[in-house]
Amino acid sequence: MFKDLFGNFFGRQGSREVAKKRLKFALVYDKLEVSDDLLNDLQRDVVEVISKYFEVDTSAMKLDIKRSDDLSALVLNTPILSAKRR
């Protein structure tokens, strides 16, 4: 603790803190990665739910993860053929 303060006082950041920051970032980033299998499963489930309400062209449906520096978004694009009347 004393040494930490001392180190910072002289403007030296221990590699320990660097390691901790890099690790935390890496772990968050790792968890945003989605496997193809998971994406395929999700698409199958989504199709099932949407099909209850809409007639959709499943072959043209696209499910993707868009990633930028500060956020990840799940993007679903699907042509609607018709709404189901109930």
Partner 1 sequence: MEGKIIVVTSGKGGVGKTTATACIGAAMAMQGKQVVVIDMDIGLRNLDVVMGLENRIVFNIVDVVKGRCKIKQAAIKDRRIDNLFLIPASQSDNKDSLTPEDIIRLSKSLRGRFDYIFMDCPAGIERGFENAVAAADEALVVCTPEVSSIRDADRIIGLLYAKSITPKLIVNRIVPEMVARGDMLSHEDVVEVLSIDLIGLVKMDDKVVVATNTGLPLVLQKDSEAGNAFHRIAQRLNGQPNLPIENSDNGKGFWRSLGRKLRRRN
Min. distance of Cβ 50 from partner 1 in angstroms?
28
Among residues 9, 10, 11, 27, the one that binds partner 1 under rule CB under 8 A: 27
80: exposed, middle or buried (Cβ count in 10 Å: 0-12, 13-18, 19+)? exposed
Write the CA distances from 33 to 22, 27, 47, 66, 69, integer angstroms.
17, 10, 22, 11, 14
Q: Would you count residue 38 as binding partner 1 (CB under 8 A)? A: no
67 binding partner 1? (CB under 8 A): no
Binding site for partner 1 (CB under 8 A): 3-4, 7, 13-17, 19-20, 22-24, 26-27, 30
